[in-house]
Amino acid sequence: MEQIDIAIIGGGVVGLAIASALSKKGRSICLLEKHPRMGLESSTHNSGVIHAGLYYPQNTLKTKLCIEGRELLYEFCKKYRIPHSRCGKLIICSDSSEIQTLELLATQGQSNGLEDLRLVDQVFCKKREPSIKATAAIWSPSTGIVEPEALVRTLTHLASQNGVTLLTETRVENGSTTPSGIELITQHEQIHARLVINAAGLYADEIAHILGGNLVTIYPVRGEYAELVPRKDLFINGLIYPLPEESGHGLGIHLTKTTWETVIVGPTAKYQTSKIDYEQNRLPLELFYDSARRLVPNLRLDDLKLGNTGIRATCRHPNEHFSDFIIDRDSSIPTLIHVAGIDSPGLTACLAIGKMVSRLVDETLN
C-alpha cells in the first residue's frame, strides 16, 4: 500500500491549484483524476472570465477569494505567459427602468471593496462597444479573460515539476478512515494518506459518501453557449453583460470575446439530474438570439451557431438565491477536507482557494 501525506481527489483547476500550493511544503502528495487528462470538466467548459468580485454578498468566501484570486491570477498569467487580458466589462441596462437595479449592483460591488467601478452613460458604452444598445452601464475595468486550457496546462506542469504524483484514469472506488488517516481504494491500487482533500467537483458529494463523510448535495447545472459567426459590421471588443438573473442562478446570457478572438454567447443555466449529459436536448439558437439581441440590436439569427456546453457543480438548491463555497474539514472526519460547490467565480478564485486550503492543511497536520 502506498503511504503519502496528502491525497487530492479531482484534477480540475481547483485541485491543481491546491496541489501547486501544497507542493511547496515538502510533503508527499498525489492527485487522483478519473479522466485521461486534467481539467476536462467544468474547468475548461466555461467563459474564461476573470471576475472582479461585484456580484457576491459581502463577507462571503466567494467575494473574498474572488477579489484575492483575481490579482493572484493576473500575476500568475503574466509570469507564466498564459494568454489573458484585463479587458474590462460593461454590465448594461437597455432602458431607464433598469437603472435603479444597476445602481444597487454598483453599490454592492463598491461595498465589496471594488473602488474602480464606474456608472457610465450611453456615450461611454458606444465608444467602447459600437454595436451595443445601452442606456447606462457599470464599467468594471478589473474584469478580464483567460485561456482556461492554458491555465490547466501550466498548473499541471508546476505540480508535476514540484514533485506531486499525478494519477490520471484513477477513480476512487472505495475508502475508509484509519487511526492515522484515510485509505483510498482505486481500480489500480490502495493509497493511505494522512489527509485527503475532496476537490471532486460534480462528484464531491459522492466522494464524501464513499469515505463516510458529510457533505451537502451537489447539483449539476448545465450551461450552453452559442458562438458568433464573424461579420464585418458587428463589433464585440470585450465583455458585455446584462443585469444578473433575479433567481441568482446565473449572470445572464452575455457576450465574451475570448483570448483566441472568437465571441461566445452564454451561458444558460439549467438544473438537471445527469452529471454527464452535455449534449441532449440542446437549446435552440433562437433562445440565445432573443437574449443577445437585447444587448446587440443589429444581431441576426444567422450570426449564431451552437457552441460548447459545460456542467457546473453548485451546492445551491434550485429554490435558493445564493450558496457560498464550501472549504472546510468534514464534520465527522478531521482528516478529510472538502473543497466543494466551487461554481463561479471558481476559476478566478482558484489560486486563492489553493492558499486557503494550504493554511487549513497546515493547521490539520502540524
Q: Which domain, by its residues, includes 326?
A: 2-45+149-218+322-365
Residues 157 and 296 in one domain: no
Indicate whether 66 belongs to any domain: no
**3 state SS for the chain:** CEEEEEEEECCCHHHHHHHHHHHHHCCCEEEECCCCCCCCCHHHCCCCEECCCCCCCCCCHHHHHHHHHHHHHHHHHHHHCCCEECCCEEEEECCHHHHHHHHHHHHHHHHCCCCCCEEEEHHHHHHHCCCCCCCEEEEECCCEEECHHHHHHHHHHHHHHCCCEEECCCCEEEEEEECCEEEEEECCCEEEEEEEEECCHHHHHHHHHHHCCCCCCCEEEEEEEEEECCCCCCCCCCEEECCCCCCCCCCCCEEEECCCCCEEEECCCEECCCCCCCCCCCCCHHHHHHHHCCCCCCCCHHHEEEEEEEEEEECCCCCCCCCCCEEEECCCCCCEEEEECCCCCHHHHHHHHHHHHHHHHHHHHC
The residues near 194 (Cβ < 8 Å, ≥ 6 apart) are 4, 5, 6, 180, 181, 335, 365
Q: Cell 454567447: give the residue.
A: 265
Contact 54, 90 (CB under 8 A): no
Sign of dihedral through CA atoms 289, 294, 299, 305? negative
In terms of domains, do 232 and 355 share one? no
Same domain, 189 and 256: no
Tens-level pLDDT at each residue, the chain (366 residues): 679 999 999 999 999 999 999 998 889 999 999 999 999 999 999 999 999 999 999 999 999 999 999 999 999 999 999 999 999 999 999 888 999 999 999 999 999 999 999 999 999 999 999 999 999 999 999 999 999 999 999 999 999 999 999 999 999 999 999 999 999 999 989 999 999 999 999 999 999 999 999 999 999 999 999 999 999 899 899 999 999 987 767 788 999 999 999 999 999 999 999 999 999 999 999 999 999 999 999 999 999 999 999 999 999 999 999 999 999 999 999 999 999 999 999 999 999 999 999 999 999 997
CA-wise closest residue to 208 among 313, 309, 310, 360: 313
C-alpha distances in Å from residue 107, one per residue of 63, 122, 245? 14, 20, 17
Same domain, 238 and 163: no
- Answer yes or no: is 229 within a domain: yes
Task: Decide which of 314, 331, 349 is a domain's last residue.
Answer: 314
| Residue carrying C-alpha cell 466567494 | 62
CATH of the domain at 235: 3.30.9.10
Please indicate, yes or no, whether residues 223 and 277 belong to a single structural domain of this protein: yes
Residue 182 is assigned to a structural domain of this protein: yes
* Paired sense of beta strands 219-228 and 263-266, if any: antiparallel
244 and 133 part of one domain? yes
Residues 108 and 134 in one domain: yes
Residue 204: inside a domain: yes
Q: Do the beta carbons of residue 158 and residue 267 sit within 8 Å?
A: no
Please give the tally of structural domains in the chain: 2
- Residue 134 falls inside a structural domain: yes
CATH, residue 27: 3.50.50.60
What was the pLDDT predicted at 235? 87
Residue 177 pLDDT: 95
In a shared domain, residues 269 and 346: no
Per-residue confidence (pLDDT) for residue 144, from 0 to 100: 98
What is d(CA 189, CA 29) in angstroms, rounded to the nearest whole number?
Answer: 15
The pLDDT value given to residue 1 = 64
Is 164 in the same domain as 294? no
Is residue 51 in a domain? no
Examine residue 63 and state whether it is found in any structural domain, yes or no: no
Distances (CA, A) of 309 to 90, 150, 190, 273: 24, 19, 35, 16
Q: How far is CA 8 from CA 96, 149, 217, 279, in A?
A: 50, 20, 20, 29
In-domain check, residue 76:
no
259 and 327 in a single domain? The answer is no
Are 205 and 342 in the same domain? yes
My answer on whether 9 and 135 are in the same domain is no
| Cα gap 168→33, rounded to integer Å | 5
